[in-house]
Structure 1
Amino acid sequence: MTEGFEAVLAQARQALQAVRSGASAGDEPAAEGTGTACDGLVQITAQGGRLTDVTVNPRALRLPAEDLAEGFREAVNAALADMEAKSAPESPPITDPAALSEQLERLQEQSAQQMARYTRSIEETLGRMRERG
């Protein structure tokens, strides 16, 4: 009796879940970005908006402080830009709003019909109980 209702409800839930899962993909690991500067003497790795690794070749220490500082800035910015490029969200699955609306309207219609059947059944039962006494 309620199998059709449950099927439509399950379809509506699946459609809503598809929309939700497209909106947030929190199960995937954060993208990792890398950047280098000073001819590869400074290497930076970033993940989740944070620096996760800094590698400085000892030869980089021979550079003037200003050049080394500029190299760090360049490498960090390159790593963050690389990370952002890799973590750019893919296009979410397209859910047809009209189809979702149609499913929800069918669900509403079926639930109203089901409620009417329940109400009739209760009224019939109460009527029989009154007749008996």
Structure 2
Amino acid sequence: MNSSKPFIDALYSGDESAAAAALDNLLTPQGPSADEIARQLVPQVAQQIQADDALRQARQRHPEVFHDRDLANAADGRVTDLLRQGKPLPKAIGEAVEQVAQKFGRGREEVPARHEDADDRSRIIREMAAQRAGGRQ
């Protein structure tokens, strides 16, 4: 951070050129330029987007890992191990979830499909219950 002392000293001493130079120095940004900041941030943002995509895909492939706290903790630990081995975060997420799912013998949780004749089965079950109850519906 620039000090305002040189500007104030030059201003009070009447040295206009020194005051102008000190003022310019105060008003000139001392940090990295916008281009430098963008060059640093773009790769980080891109990696975060890739990591988010990897996480979304892993959740779709193996939701059971994310629904079970123990499996999620195991996957998290495995991600840390893979990162230490030098794997990029998106790859580490995918591999870790896959490894935990395989190790614990978990397959993909699927929601049972609704059969076309489910309403028909429900009607049959109601009729059977009614017959057992003495013919009342």
Same structural fold, with TM-score higher than 0.5 when normalized by the shorter chain: no
Q: Decide which structure has greater strand share.
A: 1
How high is the TM-score relative to the length of structure 1?
0.32
Highest Rg: 1 or 2?
A: 2
Higher relative contact order structure (alpha carbons within 8 Å, sequence separation ≥ 6): 1
